[in-house]
């Protein structure tokens, strides 16, 4: 019987030209299949993202219907309080540098009571609510402590200034007003310590705040300190406003536009 030899491979029996055509067809078909798979994968990922968004909206609606607090984006309120603090300190500084016989207390009193007082108290309350209601248990103790305390003292100083024409509330050269400034200078100096875990800008702001209050207390007994106290207040206010704008810009652009000089081993509480 004659033995038939089998070809070693199928491709060896195919001419070279036909072999190249088959390779081109396989390559083209493989590319089309790959693009189709990638397109279907992209559509699937988009559908999954849309479904997740719908599920999140449903969960929020369920919490609202059940009366549960909805998570609040952290860091929404500090710019309001810091800008209020900054504008108030700048106003106090400018008025304090004016000659005593030409000072107009009305702008300072209205700023103390509205921007320095009410706005900071509202900001402090919102910070407290954020700390309680946020689902990530964000600790905002430092911020609502600062805003509530400064708001209260500015509101009190504005009230005293508004009633200064009454004999009972006369504050000219008053040692009690100097004592208030001195106490808040000590408070600002103590608040410098927590700022060592936040940023250098915050630390410097409270140093200037403490210096401003101590100089304002000195100015109650010696008018020669008025200009120095006014300059310190203006610089403290400008720095507080800078920090407020820095946080505001970082929330809009999601990146640090105005640097605060954060310490290397700590992250800003409102940093994204």
- In the three-class reduction of DSSP (H, G, I as helix; E, B as strand; rest coil), residue 197 is classed as coil
For residues 117 and 47, state if they share a domain: no
For residues 91 and 126, state if they share a domain: yes
For residues 29 and 102, state if they share a domain: no
For residues 36 and 102, state if they share a domain: no
pLDDT > 80? residue 253: no
For residues 179 and 104, state if they share a domain: yes
Minimum mean pLDDT range among 60-74, 90-104, 206-220, 257-271: 60-74
For residues 149 and 182, state if they share a domain: yes
Confidence class for position 250, pLDDT limits 50, 70, 90: confident
For residues 105 and 167, state if they share a domain: yes
When divided into structural domains, the chain yields a total of 2
Range of the domain at 169: 79-253
The full DSSP string for 124-176 is HHHHHHHHHH-TT----HHHHHHHHHHHHHHHHHHHHHHTTTSGGG--TT-HH
For residues 101 and 203, state if they share a domain: yes
Q: Is residue 258 part of a domain?
A: no
* CATH number reported for the structural domain that contains residue 209 in this entry: 1.25.40
Q: Is residue 237 part of a domain?
A: yes
Closest CA to 95 of 240, 231, 206: 231
Confidence class for position 272, pLDDT limits 50, 70, 90: very low
Percent of the chain with pLDDT over 90: 22
How far lies 172's CA from each of 222, 224, 232, in Å? Answer: 11, 15, 21
Q: Is residue 130 part of a domain?
A: yes
Confidence class for position 73, pLDDT limits 50, 70, 90: very low
For residues 23 and 153, state if they share a domain: no
For residues 58 and 175, state if they share a domain: no
For residues 55 and 84, state if they share a domain: no
Mean of the pLDDT values across residues 146-167? 82
Q: Is residue 264 part of a domain?
A: no
d(CA 245, CA 236): 14
Question: What count of Cα atoms within 13 Å lies in the side-chain half-sphere of residue 63?
Answer: 12
Q: How far apart are the first and last CA of the chain?
A: 85
For residues 37 and 109, state if they share a domain: no
d(CA 192, CA 239): 14
Confidence class for position 131, pLDDT limits 50, 70, 90: confident
The pLDDT value given to residue 257: 80
pTM of the model: 0.66
């Amino acid at each position: 019987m004659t033995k038939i030899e089998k070809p070693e491979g199928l491709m060896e029996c195919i001419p070279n030209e036909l072999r190249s055509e088959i390779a081109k067809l396989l390559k083209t078909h493989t590319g089309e299949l790959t693009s189709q798979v990638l397109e279907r994968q992209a559509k699937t990922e988009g559908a999954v993202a849309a479904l997740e968004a719908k599920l999140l909206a449903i969960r929020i609606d369920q919490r609202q219907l059940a009366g549960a607090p909805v998570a609040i984006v952290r860091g929404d309120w500090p710019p309001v309080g810091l800008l209020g603090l900054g504008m108030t300190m700048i106003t106090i500084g400018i008025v304090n540098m004016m000659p005593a016989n030409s000072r107009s207390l009305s702008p300072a009193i209205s700023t103390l009571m509205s921007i320095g007082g009410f706005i900071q108290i509202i900001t402090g309350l919102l910070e407290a609510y954020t700390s309680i209601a946020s689902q990530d248990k964000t600790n905002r103790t430092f911020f609502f402590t600062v805003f509530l305390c400064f708001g209260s003292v500015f509101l009190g100083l504005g009230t005293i200034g508004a009633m200064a024409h009454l004999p009972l509330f006369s504050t000219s050269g008053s040692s009690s007003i100097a004592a208030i400034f001195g106490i808040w200078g000590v408070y600002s100096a103590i608040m410098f310590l927590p700022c060592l875990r936040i940023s250098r800008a915050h630390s410097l702001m409270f140093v200037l705040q403490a210096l401003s209050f101590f100089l304002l207390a000195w100015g109650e007994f010696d008018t020669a300190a008025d200009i120095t106290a006014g300059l310190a207040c203006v610089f403290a206010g400008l720095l507080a406003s800078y920090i407020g704008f820095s946080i505001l810009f970082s929330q809009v652009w999601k990146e640090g536009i105005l640097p605060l000089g954060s310490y290397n081993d700590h992250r800003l509480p409102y940093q994204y």
